[in-house]
Amino acid sequence: MSAENAVAVTVTDTVAVAVVTGAASGIGRATALRLAADGFHVAMMDLDAAGLAATGELVQDAGGRARAFPVDLCDPLAVGSVTREIAVTVGAPELLVNVAGIGVAATVLETSDEDWNRVLAVNLTGPFLTTRAILPLMLDRGTGVIVNIASVAGQVGIPKRAAYCASKAGLVGLTKAVAVDHGHEGIRSVAICPGTVETEWIGKILANAPDPAAARAAMSARQLDGRMGTPEEIAALVAFLAGPDGRFVNGTALIADGGMTAA
């Protein structure tokens, strides 16, 4: 591991610490709120400083503890620096939840070099960087849980989502590799593969559709119960995996898609 990612601290905070990326909105925000409600002190990482501040206010209004750390998750030096700051000011994390992600609607032939690199950077390189920075702190404790929010698009092909599918499949592979390498050292690494979840990102896709109502109906119909999932439902699964009831789950990808991939 490179020197800029090495962290050495003395942990003084007895409150369990969770790091959540992409906490400015959507599944990341719901996860931060749920983990704070469960007693974690949540360190929130995202490029969107205003969104992080809004999430922090929601956490505090609910009686929880959270602190915002605006950061470019694709920048190795920045991720290493913020990790050191989290370790010193909040505590050594025992839970890392990688949520931050983006997508581009395009086939391979339609995907530009720029879009390909951007999607892979956020969806795969970002989780790699946070894992590389935070994992040594978990190893020092002898325990830790890493939850990566992948997608059903990492399990099956989704039309016009070539870069997204590739990035999420890679994230599932990274998840399993970490478990194999470090499971015997007390580390659990698990991926969650949601189906269609009603987030701000989905809202933008629907708003830009020629017929938003028809697009919403089509997205909802992909699930067997005819509705999209909620960020809170995915956050609840994260909470399960982070807790003692999830301790036998490691090195796998859990699909939470309302039956979308059952057929």
- Domain segments of the chain as ranges: 14-194+230-254, 198-228
The model's pTM: 0.93
Residues 129-158: pLDDT tens digits?
999 999 999 999 999 999 999 999 999 999
User: In whole angstroms, what is the distance from residue 202 CA to residue 188 CA?
Assistant: 30
Q: In what order do the strands lie in the sheet with 187-194?
A: 65-70, 41-46, 17-21, 95-98, 144-149, 187-194, 253-256
Residues 215-254: pLDDT tens digits?
999 989 999 999 999 999 999 999 999 999 999 999 999 9
User: In whole angstroms, what is the distance from residue 109 CA to residue 60 CA?
Assistant: 46
Q: What's residue 11's pLDDT?
A: 40
- Reply yes or no on whether the pLDDT at 8 is more than 50: no
- Reply yes or no on whether the pLDDT at 2 is more than 70: no
Residue pair 15/43 in contact by the 8 Å Cβ criterion:
no
The strand pair at 144-149 and 41-46 is best described as: unpaired
Residue pair 33/58 in contact by the 8 Å Cβ criterion:
yes
Which candidate, 183, 170, 197, places its Cα nearest to that of 253?
A: 170
User: In whole angstroms, what is the distance from residue 102 CA to residue 164 CA?
Assistant: 8
Structure tokens at 91: 């505590």
User: In whole angstroms, what is the distance from residue 103 CA to residue 236 CA?
Assistant: 24
Q: Which residue has the tokens 């989704």?
A: 158
Q: What's residue 205's pLDDT?
A: 85
Give the angle subtended at the CA of 185 by the CAs of 181 and 186, to the nearest 5°. Answer: 115
Which candidate, 238, 235, 155, places its Cα nearest to that of 193?
A: 155
Give the angle subtended at the CA of 73 by the CAs of 148 and 54, to the nearest 5°. Answer: 85
Active site members? 164
Fold of 14-194+230-254: Rossmann fold (3.40.50)
Confidence of residue 1 (pLDDT cuts 50, 70, 90): very low
Residues 159-188: pLDDT tens digits?
999 999 999 999 999 999 999 999 999 999
Q: What is the pLDDT averaged over residues 102-125?
A: 97
Q: What's residue 15's pLDDT?
A: 87
Structure tokens at 93: 């994390």
Residues 21-53: pLDDT tens digits?
999 999 999 999 999 999 999 999 999 999 999
Exposure letters 22-55 (e unless 16+ CB within 10 A, then b): bbbbbbbbbbbbbbbebebbbbbbbbbeebbebb
- Reply yes or no on whether the pLDDT at 12 is more than 60: no
